Amino acid sequence: MAQLLSLERCDVSYGPVRALTGVSLDLQPGEIVGVVGALGAGKTTLMRALAGLVQPSHGSVRLDGEDITRLPWDARARLGIVHVPAGGGLFPTLTVAENLMLAEAPQSNGERRVRLEHMFPLLVERRRQTAGSLSGGEQRQLAVARGALSRPRVLLLDEPLLGLSPVTGATVMRLLTQLGREGVAILISEERPTDDLRALAGRLVGLRAGHVVGAAEVMPAFPGQVAGGGDLERVEVEMVGLPLSTRDRRALQTIAQARGIPVGRLIAELAHRHTEENAEEWE
Ligand code: ATP
């Protein structure tokens, strides 16, 4: 089948930091592809390169076979490439209803919005609340709903399941499955090849230090972890104790980079110190 969106041998750098090297990826209509990788592996950059938010220094991006490498993000959005960043990309001072309104095509009969409101009751219950005052998980629901409402041909979702309750996560997965059946190509990132992601995606791609690898080869985020192992969640919770927000994780990446050590080592050191301090308290 013809490729809908493809990235061909792309390199992307932020100043001296190389984030992607020779990365190729194809998406067909209706296909759901999972991209997995540890913190800093390049998942966000891959999404941003497809969305037109960063320019590759080498390689190309194609939509329906046409070269769109130099097309800015807003033009790509008009062509149906919809990007839902990890932070949601919402307008925090606008209400839930207003955020949805901006995504809905003017000629829409509202059918799609009503369907989404049935799936996510929050969209009705909190319609007058500002998006910025929603919890992280609620913002994520609104962001995914908004992405679905904007009639995408390609939906790029950066860690949309992070922090969602199992029930809400299942609803998001049901929505994505429906969109896939309607022909939308979906790229969804997660740190690990979780059971949910395996159930949802027809195919998984791994990223490690900006290179494409097999999904089973993604670098473990913490020493002692085994990729794909069922113990990952338990080890992480025990060692760090707190789930990290996206902002925390960015800060850790910056600190690790400044110290010239891998982010996994920095987290392991912090976790070690945290555990020792707790141990002292308990003695
Ligand atoms: P996460 O799961 O934390 O979002 P990721 O897999 O999405 O990680 P990216 O955010 O794409 O990874 O980052 C890839 C590399 O590029 C990392 O080394 C990161 O520190 C670096 N990087 C990302 N954004 C910037 C930026 N704006 N300036 C400098 N370096 C950056």
Range of the structural domain that residue 32 is part of: 5-217
Give domain status of residue 227, yes or no.
no
Return the best residue to mutate from 17, 158, 249 for the ligand 1 pocket (most ligand atoms within 8 A of CB).
17
Report the 10 Å Cβ neighbour count for 52. 21
Q: Which of 10, 43, 255 should be mutated for ligand 1, with most atoms under 8 A from CB?
A: 43
- Tell me the percentage of the chain whose pLDDT exceeds 70: 80
Lowest mean pLDDT among 38-42, 67-71, 81-85: 38-42
CA of 269 to the centre of ligand 1 (A): 20
Which atom belonging to ligand 1 lies closest to the Cα atom of 15?
Answer: 29
Residues 207 and 110 in one domain: yes
Ligand 1 centroid to 14 CA: how many Å? Answer: 9
Which residues' Cβ are closer than 6 Å to ligand 1? 14, 17, 19, 37, 39-45, 249, 253, 257
Distance between CA 227 and CA 253 in Å, rounded? 20
Q: DSSP class of residue 153?
A: S
What pLDDT is attached to residue 115? Answer: 92
The atom number, within ligand 1, closest to the CA of 254 reads 20
Rounded Cα distance between 266 and 283, Å, is 26
- pTM of structure: 0.79
What is the C-alpha to C-alpha distance for residues 140 and 137, in angstroms, rounded to an integer? 5
**12/70 Cα distance (integer angstroms):** 14
Domain shared by 34 and 99, yes or no = yes
Q: Please identify, among 197, 217, 237, the residue that sits at the C-terminal boundary of a domain.
A: 217
CATH no. for residue 40? 3.40.50.300
Indicate whether 239 belongs to any domain.
no
Lowest model confidence (mean pLDDT) among 65-69, 131-135, 273-277: 273-277
**36 C-alpha to center of ligand 1: Å?**
14
Q: What is the pLDDT of residue 215?
A: 81
Q: 217: pLDDT confidence band, cut at 50, 70 and 90?
A: confident
Q: Is 41 helix (H, G, I), strand (E, B) or coil?
A: coil
